[in-house]
Amino acid sequence: MNSTIASNSVELFTDGNQTKTRIKPIVTLSEVYSNSVPNGNIGECLDDLEEHVRLSVSKNGWAPPASSAFSNARGSWFELIVAATAWNYRIDRGVPEYHIVKMPNIKTYDFRSVYLSETQEMLDTLEMVLEQHNCVSQVSSNPDLLIINHKNIKSLVDSNYKISDLSIENIHNINLLYNNLQGKCPWDSVLAGIGLTTSLRPDRRNQFIHEGNIFKSLYAHLKMRYWNNTMNFQYHLASNVKHNQADEIAFRAATTHSIVNVNLIPERAVDGLHSLIKTDDIYAMFDNIIK
């Protein structure tokens, strides 16, 4: 970790008549971890990144960013720490046929674009039919991570090397890995989605239950279209805070489609809840999902 170099982790911007301070999360990561990757207690890693920003603001004599800006930055840092650890997990565990892909906001890229065109057309047709009947749709966001198992994936993506730092280049490769998979993944090669969060507030719980419900309903539709009832898409949630009994009870919620069809066995919208306190916990989570 390197927090002694001159920092470009913050910048000024104009908001109406006010000049405010903006955090640059990727630059912050690249400065603090220019010679290493995050390791150990994840909360302490996030605290180090936040302190680096606060020191930069203080040295410049600028007003500190809003608390919401730090919350958003910590969320972005957490996602990249997990994604960077996932990159090296594949190499350390010797599973190069798997890719754990960080997904952007759905406004930037719809995760369904990784599927083969045939599957995309099926999902487009579903959306069109839903829209035609009572103007309904399946509204959701992207999972933060996708786990993909593709026998030809090594020829699609050059990522079979470990990363030793969070340089701008390495972060760029992590963030844009999904671009290499567009239109190339069979529907049953996408094994799981993972939601990442730094908060387990009740409203955040509901968001992830909704996402798991939507993703699994899409797969229920695809299983019917492909006449393949053995495919089991999983959706997991991971946070960097310890979950409690109330969290565990909330995430037992069933998918809607599985409780209205007598031919289906009820299934959970969220298959697993993982507390990622240390970077070793990230490895344990992927060991649990990739069995």
Q: Are 59 and 101 members of one domain?
A: no
Q: Are 61 and 104 members of one domain?
A: no
Q: Are 63 and 191 members of one domain?
A: no
Confidence at residue 140, expressed as pLDDT on a 0 to 100 scale: 79
Confidence at residue 5, expressed as pLDDT on a 0 to 100 scale: 53
Q: Are 208 and 138 members of one domain?
A: yes
Q: Residue 16: inside a domain, yes or no?
A: yes
Pick the last residue of a domain from 18, 48, 76.
Answer: 76
CB contact set of 224 (below 8 Å; sequence gap of 6+): none
Confidence at residue 176, expressed as pLDDT on a 0 to 100 scale: 93
What is the domain extent for residue 253?
A: 96-289
Confidence at residue 234, expressed as pLDDT on a 0 to 100 scale: 96
| pLDDT per residue as tens, the chain (291 positions) | 554 456 899 999 988 888 889 999 999 999 999 999 999 999 999 999 999 999 999 999 999 999 999 999 999 999 999 999 999 999 999 998 899 999 999 999 999 999 999 999 999 999 888 888 777 777 778 999 999 998 766 556 667 789 999 999 999 999 999 998 899 999 999 999 999 999 888 888 899 999 999 999 999 999 999 999 899 999 999 999 999 999 899 899 999 888 888 888 889 999 999 999 999 999 999 999 998
Q: Are 166 and 267 members of one domain?
A: yes
150 within 8 A of 97, measured Cβ to Cβ: yes
Pick the last residue of a domain from 76, 104, 122.
Answer: 76
Q: Residue 5: inside a domain, yes or no?
A: no
pTM of the model: 0.93
Strands 18-23 and 98-102: unpaired
Confidence at residue 121, expressed as pLDDT on a 0 to 100 scale: 96
Using the Cα atoms of residue 147, residue 188, residue 152 and residue 107 in order, give the sign of their dihedral.
negative
Q: Are 168 and 72 members of one domain?
A: no
Domains contained in the chain, number: 2
Q: Are 102 and 66 members of one domain?
A: no
Distance of alpha carbon 33 from alpha carbon 230, whole angstroms: 43
179 within 8 A of 172, measured Cβ to Cβ: no
Q: Residue 82: inside a domain, yes or no?
A: no
Q: Residue 41: inside a domain, yes or no?
A: yes
Task: Name the phi and psi angles at 56, rounded to 5.
Answer: -65, -45
Confidence at residue 262, expressed as pLDDT on a 0 to 100 scale: 80
Q: Are 197 and 165 members of one domain?
A: yes
Q: Residue 81: inside a domain, yes or no?
A: no
With H, G, I as helix, E, B as strand and everything else as coil, classify residue 37: coil
Confidence at residue 155, expressed as pLDDT on a 0 to 100 scale: 58
Q: Residue 245: inside a domain, yes or no?
A: yes
Pick the last residue of a domain from 76, 106, 124.
Answer: 76
Q: Are 206 and 242 members of one domain?
A: yes
Confidence at residue 203, expressed as pLDDT on a 0 to 100 scale: 82
Q: Are 168 and 45 members of one domain?
A: no
Q: Are 32 and 122 members of one domain?
A: no
Confidence at residue 66, expressed as pLDDT on a 0 to 100 scale: 92
Q: Residue 85: inside a domain, yes or no?
A: no
Confidence at residue 228, expressed as pLDDT on a 0 to 100 scale: 94
Whichever domain contains 138, its CATH number is 3.40.91.10
Q: Are 19 and 135 members of one domain?
A: no
Q: Residue 84: inside a domain, yes or no?
A: no
With H, G, I as helix, E, B as strand and everything else as coil, classify residue 242: coil
